[in-house]
A and B are shown apart, each in its own frame.
Chain A
Amino acid sequence: MIRLEKRKEPSKFWGIANPFLAVALTMLAGGIMFAALGKDPVVAIRLIFFDPIFSETFGSYSRPQLLIKSAPLILIAVGLAIGFKAGIWNIGAEGQYIMGALFGAGVALAFFPQPGWYIFPLMVIAGAFGGFLWAMIPAILKTRFNTNEILVSLLLVYVAERILAAMALGLMRNPDIPGFPGSRDLRRYEAAHNAELFANTGIHWGVVAALVAVILAYVMMTRHMLGFHVQLAGQAPRAARFGGVSPARLVVICLGISGALAGLAGMFEVSGPGGQVRIEFASGYGFTAIIVAFLGRLNPVGIVLAGLLLGLTYIGGELSQMMLQIPGAAIQVFQGMLLFFLLALDFQTNYRIRLTQGERA
């Protein structure tokens, strides 16, 4: 007979081991899925996890890509993790990411073609503000009317996507190329371009911002009263109120931080690697960042590692699509599996599985 026993304290060992185990299980289950699609599983897994970095043929192209893909994931996930720790579930980072990009690009397009050192900093502020503003909608609805922030933030993603499409086709469309959707290419507008800081490394301002965010989040969560209150509210809401934490204030702060960071990520993307406001600009970073946050154990350092890994699956996914014609959706299934296995495995951090003799009747 299998019995479940609640552990007295959550297991530290499994807390650290589970993410690794989840990755291993995902490779296994993913391999089975690729085999079912008629592809060689070993080659596919190798293409996704190994070749982007070590292959001589693709490496020079895909190594810088790693930071480009990982930076927005890490930036968004760090913000989300703070909220998740407090029990505030912002599922709509994708929408905040889009709004940040639109606000940032909006500033750039308004100044075009003027030069000026101040334009990029203004875009940074506007991007963060756009994401913040979009996150304030679920925050205010929650504090005022007690709505569920999961639903509101998620549904606002689809609103943001409609606004993105409308902008790409209307207000922000490049007037110089009639008939084509999409804005001017910000990479060709020097004052607004989020360029590579060191050649062929993939390091742009977004990478720097992600690193700074990780450090600040770490300090906040371990050394500052705000971080203490966030953890308190997540673990014991009544004790938090006893400690003087205002739940409404915390909702606004957590959604605000995660929204602003997602907005920043969107702005760095649209002014750099993405280049322009297009209908298909949003590529799911906001959703994948949820996986990154959990895989990184909501810990800023863990999030860096998880962000690099998920960034890798993006590049590896593209490679395997190119080389093996594996459908793009398969790679999303792959990412989903990772979260699925992790959540399932996390059961054993809190419970012990025991095989026992059947009790005598």
Chain B
Amino acid sequence: MRKTLLRLEGLSKSYPGVRANDDISFEIGEGQMHALLGENGAGKSTLVKMIYGLVRPDAGAMTLRGAAYAPSQPSEARRNGVAMVFQHFSLFDALDVAENVALGMENPPPLRDLAARIRTVSEEYGLPLDPSRLVGELSAGERQRVEIVRCLLQDPKLLIMDEPTSVLTPQEVEILFRTLRQLSGEGTAILYISHKLEEIRALCDEATILRGGRKVATCDPREKSARELAELMVGQLLTPPERPERPFGEVVLEVEKLSLKSNNPFGTSLKDISFQLRAGEVLGIAGVAGNGQDELLLMLSGELRAPSPQVRLKGDPVGHLGPNGRRAMGLVAAPEERLGHAAAPDMSLTENALLSASRRKRLERGGFIDWGKTEAFAREVITRFDVRTPGPHVLARALSGGNLQKFVIGREIELDPDVIIVNQPTWGVDAAAAATIRQALLDLAGKGAAVLVISQDLDELLEVADSFAALNEGRLTPVRPAKGLNVEEIGLMMGGAHDMHVAHEAAQ
């Protein structure tokens, strides 16, 4: 039996209206790989924020190596050997790797010494990094390495990782796991937050499962099936979406040899993109974030104009048309970012319904808005997609992520499109809502619409897609039938490990 590193006893934290954590107790042993599992809103973030000193518990206590531990700020946690890699990186694009690392340290050494240490530590752990490169030029996987190396330089006893693999290809995940196992072997405990069950079963030796702010189980994930873990997490039985066999119709959306410069200086330009999408077909496009997904969506939705003949909708060139022109022809889109892009945060759901539906639902006449009709349409979306909200007058930003996502996707589906493009349709959405959204997309395809799903979630793509392609550095692989593809092949389509595979051999 190994020694206990961190013990949580009865930790509770409430926010107005929510009991985020309720009497949570468990232990993490030295060198243990401990998974923290739960759906969005289960209280994982609040719990680790308490451990990392960002949030103070209302009740309960922690002990670290037997001594009382109550960090009042992250720097105190770091002094005690607790480090954290966040899901969203806090890096500056315009600074280089060493400068970014220095910014996160209390007393950074001179940059030249720091660069040397970054090189040593990163190679020792199989995560090679060039300290002089600009962060803006790095891939998502490399950025994560910057964050990890920043933590490793502090020689942590406990490393908290929040959803670390959501930005990685399967091969990059393998490399990360090797690093984590090496750390664990050296006695560093790892608290690993994820909702990807297979990963946890492959990596962790103990798992704590949260649901609705309470601990529902601590178990050995290797002894449970992924399905059992999922049902513990959700608290109900899960049914995979239904997907009736159906013939595809004619090609409705076609992109031919399209290259397009990104409108964002750190964006990814599209290079030589070609694909065809038939009526009734669901095309899944995989790829690690930042490989041109945003640009692909903007180009297809009409927010970025393209050379006209290279984008064709039902045979007509549409590259020059803006979003409303394409909507009129039957193409709708739901961007990844819900707040601020697919919906205006400070506007009501009624106003947000008008945002993309004004033309197709005839909510305006000669520019004058029919608010009654618009509100009725918003209510329709709310009812049909089970959006939990007091009513259409509520501001978009007051909705939870999952509910707003249901509203946004539902709004587009209700427009009865011939082609629908969605980017990350279930990102940050709980399992039940995700199932609703996926089923709605499949139903739409069943009715003969062409569906294009851009996602980083491979399980999701394999669940819904008929055909499959991957985006890698702005290039799209040829489209292949999804049936029979395995994760290994998909990983290679996504660009493998971005030339990282030699790392571990070199380190040995």
Contact = CB atoms under 8 A, between A and B. Distances in A.
A239 interface: yes
B7 to A, nearest CB: 22
Contacts of B369: 223-225, 228
Nearest to B334: A242
A223 B368 contact: yes
B72 A359 contact: yes
Contacts of A10: 346
Contacts of A361: 72
B469 to A, nearest CB: 24
Contacts of B303: 241-242
A244 interface: yes
Nearest to B304: A241
A236 interface: yes
A244 B326 CA distance: 10
A238 B335 CA distance: 10
A239 B323 contact: no
A361 B73 CA distance: 10
Contacts of B367: 224-226
B59 to A, nearest CB: 15
A244 B323 contact: yes
Contact of A238 (B56, B324, B341, B371): B341
B345 A242 contact: no
Contacts of A246: 322
B354 interface: yes
Interface residues of A, number: 22
A228 B324 contact: no
B415 to A, nearest CB: 13
B216 interface: no
B344 interface: yes
A243 B355 contact: yes
A236 B368 contact: no
Nearest to A233: B344
A176 interface: no
Contacts, number: 70
A280 interface: no
Contacts of B343: 236, 239
A232 interface: yes
Given A8-B398, A228-B354, A246-B322, A235 B368 contact: no
A232 B323 contact: no
A254 to B, nearest CB: 16
B171 interface: no
A9 B395 CA distance: 9
Interface string B478-495: 000000000000000000
B347 interface: yes
Interface string B356-370: 101000001001110
Nearest to B371: A223
Contact of A9 (B322, B355, B398): B398
Contacts of B340: 236, 238-239
Contact of B335 (A226, A235, A242): A242
Contacts of A236: 340-341, 343-347
Contacts of A223: 368-369, 371
Interface in A51-67: none
B472 interface: no
Nearest to A246: B322
Q: Is the interface of A mostly helix, strand, loop or mixed?
A: helix
Contacts of A228: 351, 354, 369
Contacts of B342: 239, 242
Given A8-B398, A9-B398, A359-B72, A242 B347 contact: no
Nearest to B369: A223
A228 B347 CA distance: 10
Q: Find the residue from B341, B343, B356 having the highest chain A CB count within 10 A.
A: B341
A244 B354 CA distance: 12
A232 B355 contact: yes
Interface in B453-477: none
B266 to A, nearest CB: 16
B368 A238 contact: no
B351 A239 contact: no
Interface centre among B303, B322, B325, B355 (most CB of A within 10 A): B355
B368 A224 contact: yes
B93 interface: no
Contacts of B333: 242
Interface string B308-348: 00000000000000111101000001010100111111110
B351 A243 contact: no
Given A241-B303, A244-B322, A235 B345 contact: yes
A246 B347 CA distance: 19
A243 B356 contact: yes
B324 A244 contact: yes
Contact of A235 (B72, B346, B364): B346
Interface string A211-249: 000000000000111101001100110111111101000
Interface string A259-303: 000000000000000000000000000000000000000000000
B332 to A, nearest CB: 11
A167 to B, nearest CB: 39
A239 B364 CA distance: 19
B21 interface: no
B301 interface: yes
Contacts of A231: 347
Nearest to A231: B347
A9 B348 CA distance: 12
Interface string A1-42: 000000011100000000000000000000000000000000
Nearest to B303: A241
A330 to B, nearest CB: 39
Interface centre among A8, A232, A241, A246 (most CB of B within 10 A): A241
Nearest to A360: B72
Interface string B72-104: 100000000000000000000000000000000
A228 B374 CA distance: 13
Given A224-B369, A228-B369, A246-B322, A239 B398 contact: no
A232 B324 CA distance: 15
A77 B364 CA distance: 28
B508 to A, nearest CB: 47
Interface string A182-219: 00000000000000000000000000000000000000
A240 B398 CA distance: 20
A293 to B, nearest CB: 19
Interface string A120-157: 00000000000000000000000000000000000000
Contacts of A242: 301, 303, 323, 333, 335, 341-342, 355-356
Given A235-B344, A243-B323, 8 more contacts: A223-B368, A224-B367, A224-B369, A228-B369, A232-B355, A238-B341, A242-B301, A242-B341
A-B pairs, 8 with minimum CB distance:
A244-B324, A236-B344, A244-B323, A239-B344, A238-B341, A243-B355, A225-B367, A235-B346
16 contacts: A223-B371, A225-B367, A228-B354, A232-B347, A235-B346, A236-B341, A236-B343, A236-B345, A236-B346, A238-B340, A239-B355, A242-B323, A242-B333, A243-B323, A243-B324, A244-B324
Interface of B: 56, 72, 301-303, 322-325, 327, 333, 335, 337, 340-347, 351, 354-356, 358, 364, 367-369, 371, 395, 398
